[in-house]
Amino acid sequence: MTNTTWNRHHVISLADFQPEEYDTVLQTAASFQEVLSRRTKRVPALQGQVIANLFFESSTRTRSSFELAAKRLSADTLNFAPGTSSLTKGETILDTAKTYLAMGTDIMVIRHREAGVPLAIANEMDRLQTRVGVFNAGDGQHEHPSQALLDLFTLCTLIDAEKPRLSLLKGKKIAIVGDILHSRVARSNIWSLTASGAEVHLAAPPTLLPKWFADFVTEPIQSTQPSTSNSQLPRKLFLHWSLEPALKDADVVMTLRLQRERMTQHLLPSLREYHQRYGITKERLQLCKPDVKVMHPGPTNRGVEISSDLMDDPQFSLISQQVTSGVAVRMALLYLMSTGKM
């Protein structure tokens, strides 16, 4: 694998990802996807390296995916359990990270309830002139880059399994529906999908999609390769307070998890009303293209943001493929971060 277009130690945000970087991730993930289909699903790429999963916010699903990706690359993994940690003894998060650094950690995978923690740790690792890579596995309401990249990989491999690339989504209409305001998944996906040249349509109640969100992406998509014709393309993002215009002729509908806390925060009247107005059902999909696909980052609330029968219908649902893609895409990112350090 040639990584002429990759020189990141850290994966924190997709805001400044360039088209060539997306393509490097997609192609590397495709080659790991092939490894995962073999009987011996393991490559020695990161043998002897230590990957520490520092999940300050607990998550079994994402941690398992990262852990499996690390094991497939032959790395050693350390799991940090927030409830039983030094944090409860007054240690700062940076000091916890520095402890794992001193133990010999090569890559830190970090999830935290507060936006900005992975970036702060990455900055500290750079300030200390270490070669440690920091991987943002979800920080507050900021970003969740590996989720957006596995979504991208899932969509692109659907079109061309052998050679997934960003440009395959050009001109597609992709609707993102649900609690946009609080969703790090939505934020990361907006960066990657608009970078592909797709039209991204957001749909949510006004409380979960305030007007100022229209300013989310302003700068055009940039490319470091001057020869590329689509450098300096504008990003296409549209906001809707009702579902219909977003679903109309859509190629893809991404639903987002609705957190029950939103009720108690008076942002929504009731789960039932939310489902009636914004829940994705087979009936509603009739507004979309006939071969529309539905995605969800999980875990799902069946019958709230998505109807139960739709979720289980392989004609529409990509949910399983998303989870499967997650292992290959995280392998690709861990591998690239590791080579990007040489």
Residue ranges of the annotated binding site are 61-62, 89, 111, 144, 147, 184, 257, 298-299
Q: How open is the CA angle 91-184-276, to the nearest 5 degrees? A: 130
Q: Is residue 301 near a copy of itself by the rule CB under 8 A?
A: yes
Q: In this structure, are residues 137 and 109 in contact, taking their beta carbons and an 8 Å threshold?
A: yes
State the nearest-atom distance from the C-beta of 58 to a copy of itself, in Å: 3
Where on the phi/psi map is residue 192: left (φ > 0), alpha (ψ -120 to 50), or beta? alpha
Q: Is residue 299 near a copy of itself by the rule CB under 8 A?
A: yes
Select from 91, 160, 244, 313 the one that contacts a copy of itself (CB under 8 A). 91
Select from 16, 34, 42, 276 the one that contacts a copy of itself (CB under 8 A). 42
Select from 1, 103, 159, 161 the one that contacts a copy of itself (CB under 8 A). 103
Rounded Cα distance between 207 and 56, Å, is 28
Query: For residue 197, what are the CA distances in angstroms to 24, 34, 119, 230, 255?
Result: 17, 27, 27, 9, 20
Q: Is residue 102 near a copy of itself by the rule CB under 8 A?
A: yes
Select from 52, 134, 166, 254 the one that contacts a copy of itself (CB under 8 A). 52
Select from 65, 183, 194, 338 the one that contacts a copy of itself (CB under 8 A). 65
Select from 2, 39, 227, 290 the one that contacts a copy of itself (CB under 8 A). 39
Rounded Cα distance between 118 and 15, Å, is 15
- 182 or 201: whose CB is closer to a copy of itself? 182
Q: How open is the CA angle 207-219-159, to the nearest 5 degrees? A: 80
Size of the site for a copy of itself (CB under 8 A): 56
Report 105-144 residues binding a copy of itself (CB under 8 A): none
- Run of H or E residues at 154: helix 145-159
Q: Interface with a copy of itself by CB under 8 A: which range of 11-19, 88-96, 141-149, 228-236?
A: 88-96
The token pair at 316 is 């529409």
Q: In this structure, are residues 202 and 181 in contact, taking their beta carbons and an 8 Å threshold?
A: no
User: Which value, in Å, is the radius of gyration of the alpha carbons in the chain?
Assistant: 20
Select from 29, 185, 327, 337 the one that contacts a copy of itself (CB under 8 A). 327
Select from 101, 233, 292, 331 the one that contacts a copy of itself (CB under 8 A). 101
Q: Is residue 277 near a copy of itself by the rule CB under 8 A?
A: no
State the nearest-atom distance from the C-beta of 182 to a copy of itself, in Å: 14
The token pair at 155 is 């969509």
Question: C-alpha 330: how far from its chain's center?
Answer: 10
Q: Is residue 158 near a copy of itself by the rule CB under 8 A?
A: no
Task: Check residue 304 and report its DSSP letter.
Answer: T
Q: Is residue 80 near a copy of itself by the rule CB under 8 A?
A: yes
State the nearest-atom distance from the C-beta of 59 to a copy of itself, in Å: 7
What is the phi/psi pair of residue 136, to 5°?
-75, 110
Strand partners, 51: 77, 107
223 Cβ neighbours under 8 A, 6+ residues apart: 18, 19, 20, 230, 231, 232
Residues that bind a copy of itself (CB under 8 A): 36, 38-42, 47-48, 50, 52, 58-61, 64-65, 67-68, 71, 76, 78, 80-81, 83-86, 89-92, 95-96, 98-104, 257, 259-260, 298-302, 319-324, 326-327
